[in-house]
Chain A
C-alpha cells in the first residue's frame, strides 16, 4: 500500500470515521476518550457552546455558517465507532480546539487518532492521525432572503501513519432559515491532495445538505435535532460516488456545555467505492 492510499484515508477522515475496535489499541483510545469527556462533563458545568450552533463532527459532518464568538474558545471531543463494509469494527477520538481570534472568524486545531480498520484501507494499526489547522470566516449573517455565508479552510499536516504531503479542504457553507425554527445548511466541499498517486483523484468534491431544528419548543430550550444527506466522489479513480445519511442530536447539559449523539451510514456507493455500514458518534463540547 503506497502513501497515497493513506492520503485517501485522510481525505475520507474529513467527512467520516471508520476504525476497528477489535484492535488492541482500541480499548486504550476508548478509555482515554471517555476519561477526557467525563472529566470535562463533570468539571465544567459552567462552560461550553450552544446546542443550536453546529460544527462538523458534532455529531454529523456539516457545519452551520456561524463562527464562534470573538474571543470565545471551545474544546470539542468525540468518540466514534465505525463498521466499515467488509472490515471489522473500529474506534477513534476526534478532538478540536477553536478560538474566535477576530470578529466573525475563528481558527481551529484538530487531531483524530484512530485505530482499526478504515474504509478504503486494510491497515488496522494505531494511527495518530493528521493534525489539522483551519480557518473559518463568516461573511454575513442571514438577512432577508440572503443566507448566512461562510468559508472554512483546513490544512492537514502529514502526521498520520504513512502520510505524505499536506492535504487541504475548502468548504463553502450557507445556512438559511427553513420554516420558522428550522435551518438548512449546505456545505460544498473540495478536498485536495496535491501530488496524489495515479490511481487517486487529486481533488474530491462533495456536498452535504444538513438540517437542524431546535426541539422542545415552547417548553424546553436545550436541544437540537439534526439530519444530513451527503454525496461525495470516491477517492480512487474509477470509483463512483457515495451517498450518506445521518441523524443527530445535541443537548445542552451545562451553561456552556453540550453533548451530542449521532449515527451515520453510507447508504449507497457505486463502482466499488469503499463505504461505511454504520458510524455511531458521541461527543462533548464546551466553550470558555
Chain B
C-alpha cells in the first residue's frame, strides 16, 4: 500500500485533467531575460538596478569576525560525530565550488571540481575547516558576502549545538535558541531578514537558474547541503540524545546516498519542507535560513552568468545581499503582501516559516512527488494541525527526503507505512518534552528505543483522532488519561509491538488538496530521477 504520496499526486493529476489546456497555460511562461531566446543585451537591460545610497556596510573592507555566543552547549554537535563531519564537508563543498568559480575554473566544475568535492563529502574532515582559507580568492573579491555567509552559518552551527546538547533541558533549549537569534540579529548590520521572502521573485532574476542549468551536479550538491542544513532541525528538535543518533544514522545515509546527487529538484529544498516542526516553532529562523540559501543560489547564478562583466557581477551580488538583508525590510511585517514583490512577505497558512513559491497560494503549497497540500492540515487525514502552544501535539514523519506533520499517532504510523523506504516517526507523548522516536525499515517494520511505550488506538472518525489515538511513556500515564476520559474506559493499552502491527482505515476526513495546476515547475524540471 502506498496511498500517501500517490494520493496527493493523484489529486493533482485529476485536477490537471479537469483543467486541461488551461492548466498548461498557467505554467507556460514567456521566456524571461535569463532564459533561452533572450540576448545578453536584453538580459542586461532587465538586470535590477543597484539602488543609490545603500548602507555603508555593503562596502565594508573590514574583517569583522565575531565569535560564537558563549554557551555550555558550544560544539555539542560533536555529540553526533557523523552529523558534525557531514557539516564540515558542507563547508568544504561550498568553498571549493566558489573558489573554482572565481578563478577561471568554472569549466571543470562538473568534472574535476565535482569529483574533488565528492571525495571530501565521502570522507569529511574531522574539524570544521576555515572556508576563507579554502576559497581565498572568492573571499578577497566578495568579502562582505563571506561575512553574511559566515555569520549565518554560525547561527546554523550554534542552533544545532543547542539541539544536540545533552546538558540542556528542552525548555532551556527553546530559550537559548531565541537568545541565539537575538545575538545573531543584533550583533551585526548584515543579518539576513527573518521575514518570509517571495522565493519565486528572487529566483526570477535575469541571471536566475543559470547555475542549475549549467552545472546540475554541483548545484545538486549545493541543494543537498541545504537539505541537510534544514532537515537536521526536526531530526534533533525535542528528540532525546540516543534517538538523535539513531535518527541521523538513517537521515545521514539519505543525505549521502540520495540528497547530494539529486538533479531533478525544481527548486532548492525549503526549510519547512524538511523541518516543519522547527519551522513552525521558530519561523524567523526558518525564514532566515531559506533566505540565506536563496542568496547562495542567486550568487551561484550570478557567478555562472558569463554574459555579466566582473563589475556587473560585483554589483548584482551586492544587490542580492541587500535584497535578503534584514535592513532592506526594516519595519515590515510577516504576512503582508506588497505590489513590490521584493517586499511580499506572505507565508503559507499554517507555516509562517516559509515564503511564497512559484505558482502557489498561501493556502496551498506544492512539493515534488507529493503534489499539493495545505500546511495547516494533517497530511494524512486533512484535519487541522495543532498550532501555537499546542503544536507539540503534532507527530511528524520523515521519509524519502521530506518531513510531514500529522495530527495523530495513527496518521504518523500509517503515513510511514504508505511510503516507500525507511522512515522516522516522531510521536508526541503525554509529556511535551518527551518525543517517542520510531524507525521504520524498508519493509515497514517499526522499532523504537522506548519499547515500554504504551498506545491508545480506539479508531473512530478522524474528527476526534486526537482523543483516541495517542502514545504514552508508561502504563501509568495511559491509565491516568483513560481515567480522565470515561468514554475510553474500555480502551485497551497496546504495547509497542501490538500498535506497530496495526493499520488504520483510510481516514474518513481525508480530502486531497487541489492546486491551480498540476505542477507549477513543469517548465523547469530538466533532470530525471
B126 on the A face (CB < 8 A): yes
State whether A177 and B136 are in contact (beta carbons under 8 Å apart), knowing that A218-B96, A218-B120 are contacts in the complex: yes
| Contact indicator A219/B133 (Cβ below 8 Å) | no
| Contact indicator B75/A103 (Cβ below 8 Å) | no
Please report which residues of chain B, range 449-463, place their CB below 8 angstroms from some CB of chain A when the two chains form the complex.
Answer: none
| Contact indicator B125/A148 (Cβ below 8 Å) | no
* B125 contact set on A, CB distance < 8 A: 220-222
Please report which residues of chain B, range 133-152, place their CB below 8 angstroms from some CB of chain A when the two chains form the complex.
Answer: 133-134, 136-137, 139-141, 143
A256 on the B face (CB < 8 A): yes
Q: Among B62, B99, B137, which residue has its beta carbon within 8 angstroms of that of A141? A: B62
Interface centre among B62, B63, B66 (most CB of A within 10 A): B63
| Contact indicator B116/A222 (Cβ below 8 Å) | no
Q: Among B64, B66, B99, B130, which residue has its beta carbon within 8 angstroms of that of A52? A: B130
Instruction: State A181–B75 Cα separation when bound (angstroms).
Output: 27
A82 to chain B, nearest CB (A): 31
Determine the interface band of chain B, counting residues with CB < 8 A from chain A.
20 to 34
A128 on the B face (CB < 8 A): no
B78 on the A face (CB < 8 A): yes
The 8 A CB mask of A121-150 against B (1 = contact, 0 = none) is 000000000000000001011111010100
Instruction: State A100–B61 Cα separation when bound (angstroms).
Output: 19
Instruction: State A47–B75 Cα separation when bound (angstroms).
Output: 8
* A103 contact set on B, CB distance < 8 A: 62, 64, 66
| Contact indicator B61/A180 (Cβ below 8 Å) | no
* A144 contact set on B, CB distance < 8 A: 140-141
| Contact indicator B143/A143 (Cβ below 8 Å) | yes
Instruction: State A254–B62 Cα separation when bound (angstroms).
Output: 28
Instruction: State A68–B62 Cα separation when bound (angstroms).
Output: 13
* A141 contact set on B, CB distance < 8 A: 61-63, 139, 143
A269 to chain B, nearest CB (A): 35
* A252 contact set on B, CB distance < 8 A: 127
Stretch binding the partner chain, chosen from A8-16, A69-77, A161-169, A187-195: A69-77
State whether A255 and B75 are in contact (beta carbons under 8 Å apart), knowing that A67-B63, A69-B67, A140-B61 are contacts in the complex: yes
Instruction: State A146–B78 Cα separation when bound (angstroms).
Output: 38
| Contact indicator A222/B62 (Cβ below 8 Å) | no
* B140 contact set on A, CB distance < 8 A: 142-144, 177
Please report which residues of chain B, range 118-133, place their CB below 8 angstroms from some CB of chain A when the two chains form the complex.
Answer: 119-120, 123, 125-130, 133
The 8 A CB mask of B103-123 against A (1 = contact, 0 = none) is 100000000000010011001
B231 on the A face (CB < 8 A): no
Instruction: State A69–B132 Cα separation when bound (angstroms).
Output: 14
* A70 contact set on B, CB distance < 8 A: 64-67
| Contact indicator A71/B66 (Cβ below 8 Å) | yes
Q: Among A68, A140, A218, A255, which residue has its beta carbon within 8 angstroms of that of B127? A: A255
Residue of B nearest to A177 (CB): B136
* B65 contact set on A, CB distance < 8 A: 66-70, 72, 100, 104
A256 to chain B, nearest CB (A): 7
Instruction: State A132–B504 Cα separation when bound (angstroms).
Output: 74
| Contact indicator B64/A143 (Cβ below 8 Å) | no
B383 on the A face (CB < 8 A): no
Residue of B nearest to A103 (CB): B64
B74 on the A face (CB < 8 A): yes
B448 to chain A, nearest CB (A): 31
B96 to chain A, nearest CB (A): 7
| Contact indicator A218/B116 (Cβ below 8 Å) | yes
The 8 A CB mask of B51-93 against A (1 = contact, 0 = none) is 0000000000111111100100011001000000000000010
A267 on the B face (CB < 8 A): no
The 8 A CB mask of A102-113 against B (1 = contact, 0 = none) is 011000000000
Instruction: State A53–B67 Cα separation when bound (angstroms).
Output: 14
Residue of A nearest to B63 (CB): A141
The 8 A CB mask of B167-184 against A (1 = contact, 0 = none) is 000000000000000000
Instruction: State A103–B63 Cα separation when bound (angstroms).
Output: 8
B125 to chain A, nearest CB (A): 5
State whether A148 and B63 are in contact (beta carbons under 8 Å apart), knowing that A177-B140, A218-B116 are contacts in the complex: yes
A274 on the B face (CB < 8 A): no
The 8 A CB mask of A219-240 against B (1 = contact, 0 = none) is 1111000000000000000000
* A287 contact set on B, CB distance < 8 A: 67
| Contact indicator A143/B67 (Cβ below 8 Å) | no
Instruction: State A148–B74 Cα separation when bound (angstroms).
Output: 30
Instruction: State A47–B71 Cα separation when bound (angstroms).
Output: 12
Instruction: State A66–B63 Cα separation when bound (angstroms).
Output: 8
State whether A104 and B133 are in contact (beta carbons under 8 Å apart), knowing that A46-B78, A144-B140, A222-B127 are contacts in the complex: no
Residue of B nearest to A65 (CB): B63
A81 to chain B, nearest CB (A): 29
Residue of B nearest to A213 (CB): B133
* A221 contact set on B, CB distance < 8 A: 92, 125, 127, 129, 133-134
* B66 contact set on A, CB distance < 8 A: 69-71, 103
State whether A255 and B137 are in contact (beta carbons under 8 Å apart), knowing that A66-B63, A104-B62 are contacts in the complex: no
A50 on the B face (CB < 8 A): yes
A248 on the B face (CB < 8 A): no
* B64 contact set on A, CB distance < 8 A: 70, 103-104
Instruction: State A133–B197 Cα separation when bound (angstroms).
Output: 48
Instruction: State A252–B125 Cα separation when bound (angstroms).
Output: 11
| Contact indicator A254/B127 (Cβ below 8 Å) | yes
A66 to chain B, nearest CB (A): 6
Q: A143-B140, A255-B75 are in contact. List 9 more A-B contacts (CB 8 A).
A: A47-B75, A66-B65, A67-B63, A70-B67, A141-B139, A146-B61, A180-B99, A221-B129, A255-B128
List the 5 closest pairs (A to B, CB-CB), nearest first.
Answer: A72-B67, A221-B129, A69-B65, A69-B67, A141-B63
B contact residues vs A (CB 8 Å cutoff): 61-67, 70, 74-75, 78, 92, 96, 99, 103, 116, 119-120, 123, 125-130, 133-134, 136-137, 139-141, 143
The 6 sampled A-B contact pairs (Cβ below 8 Å) are A52-B130, A66-B63, A71-B67, A177-B136, A218-B116, A255-B75
